Amino acid sequence: MRQAAVSVGLLAFLSGCNRHQSALATFGAEAEGIRTITIALVVGAVFIIAIMVGIYWRAVRAPEGQLTHKQGMRLVLWLGGIGPTILLTVILIFALPAMRPRVTAPGDLTIHVEGEQFWWRVGYERPGGGVLVAANEVRVPVGRTVAFELTGRDVIHSFWIPGLAGKMDMIPGRTNSLVARADKPGRYRGVCTEFCGLSHALMAFDVIAMEPAAFYAWLADQSRPAAGARQGQGAQLFAANGCGGCHAIRGTEHDARIGPDLSRYGDRLTLGAGILPPTIERTADFIRAPQDAKPGVRMPAYPQLSHQEARAIAVYLKGLK
Amino acid sequence: MKRGLPGWAQRLRVTLWTLIVPPATWAVHFLFAYLWAAINCAKVGRFATFPTLFVAGTVAALLVILASGWIAWQQSRVPGDPAPHEESTDIDRLRFLAKSTLLLSGLSFVAVIFTALPVVFIGDCR
């Protein structure tokens, strides 16, 4: 019974283990540096604790008078003063290089990310000029230096891709810079790490690290409007219900900047900023009652839409690719 | 007590003010590090490969602390009343203040180095 309880307790620690969102499962150089420091510190701390326990164990068993007053004071000086100072200096010198931001060159990719309750506005600076606006998904080329320019729209958020780099606050009225380099292609996840409101825990995003050629092809492809952006019953319902008052879809008259850009919704890997599978049914449910999935969401509910109408809009959105 | 030690260090007047010389130097150096980095970033935009002025300021701070510590060390060895040096006599007061200054010098010396290392290592205005 006790063994079972201990096992269940230990299992809780494993819940943090996954390869998509973990500072220990790294895919970037910055996170790798942090991981190395973490492991060195933990191993070192265990080692020091073992030494201290050993000294303590000896000390309480040694007969009185084993050390003279002078020897005792010398022990305190070395183990309590000089030793820790040397150790801390070594750790400081070991850890400091990780705090030095990666150097950026003029041609490096810049990605602007704005945190809003409770989603992410993402803007990729195109090589030829201009910015591609997207949402809730960050794509990065592998092996290239990427500069993230981070800010907040409403309250303070924090941008963290655990496998890529350390976290960085997104503060309204201020732009913070985070420079990183992904080293391993794959699909990962980032999160908001500054409490920003009711759905703070439901504010995540997908991260896709791609080979540079594939990334730049994707960037060029995303810039053209999706096929079928103007056709069908869904497009009519989208316009008639005022969805375009907040959302933009390239190639249509909808160019609002209040809510997430939906130009390529059909390509998205998740719905609602990294929390739901982007199926037609879930999308239709989200349109009618977004607060069911995200408490405190800024998007109004559309209960007046019939299920068929919401579904038609979802089919239209899913077709945007 | 070794013969021939400079007597002038032991004869210096010791007060609570001399006690705070090492930590005050640390504080001034801390401020200097911030000001130097801020002015450097605003005016130049980056750190020099070898930040001469900053290194000079750090060395100066360390020298002040070392001198203060050395004087304190001399004073903490002034012969006089018997151990444990806790009576309210002039000599015990001197030894207490000197010992405290010596310990503060050690702390401040390390602190100045720990303040200077990040500046030298990071050297980036972003």
Name the closest residue on chain B to residue A99, using Cα atoms: B122
On the question of pLDDT at B2 being above 60, the answer is: no
Mean pLDDT of A279-300: 93
Whether residue A251 is predicted with pLDDT greater than 80 in this model: the reply is yes
Distance of CA A234 to the CA centre of its chain: 32
Mean pLDDT score, B26-45? 92
Residue A90 in domain: no
Domain stop point among A166, A195, A223: A223
Residues A116-137: tens digit of each pLDDT: 999 999 999 998 888 999 999 9
Tell whether A194 and A279 lie within a shared domain. no
Residue A229: count of CB within 10 angstroms of its CB:
20
In terms of Cα–Cα distance, which of A94, A93, A130 is closest to A110?
A: A130
pLDDT for B1 beyond 60: no
A205 and A248 inside one domain: no
**B117 → chain A, closest CA residue:** A93
Distance CA A96, CA A74 (A): 31
| A166 CB burial (10 A radius; 0-12, 13-18, 19+) | middle
Residue A1 maps to a domain: no
* ipTM score above 0.90: no
- For residue range A135-162, list pLDDT tens digits in order: 999 999 999 999 999 999 999 999 999 9
Residue A117 lies in a domain: yes
> Would you call B110 and A85 a contact, using CB atoms and an 8 Å cutoff?
yes
Helix (H, G, I), strand (E, B) or coil at A209: strand
For residue A41, pLDDT beyond 60: yes
Identify whether residues A54 and A110 lie together within a single domain. yes
pLDDT, tens digit (0-9, with 9 covering 90-100), for B39-94: 988 988 877 777 889 999 999 999 999 999 999 988 888 777 776 777 777 788 88
In this structure, what token pair is assigned to residue A274?
């990294």
Q: Chain B: nearest CA to A239, how far in angstroms?
A: 44
Q: Give yes or no for B121 touching A (CB within 8 A).
A: yes
Q: Region A263-277: what's the mean pLDDT?
A: 92
| Residues near A164 by beta carbon (within 8 Å), at least 6 away in sequence | A26, A27, A28, A30, A31, A140, A180, A182, A188, A190, A207, A209
Number of compact structural domains in chain A = 2
Q: Strand, helix or coil at B31?
A: helix
Residue A89 contacts B where some CB pair is shorter than 8 Å: yes
A272 and A204 within one domain: no
Distance CA A248, CA A262 (A): 6
From chain B, pick out residues whose CB is under 8 angstroms from the CB of A108. Answer: none
Interchain pair A93, B118: CB under 8 A: no
Domain shared by A186 and A251, yes or no? no
User: Are A116 and A21 part of one and the same domain?
Assistant: yes
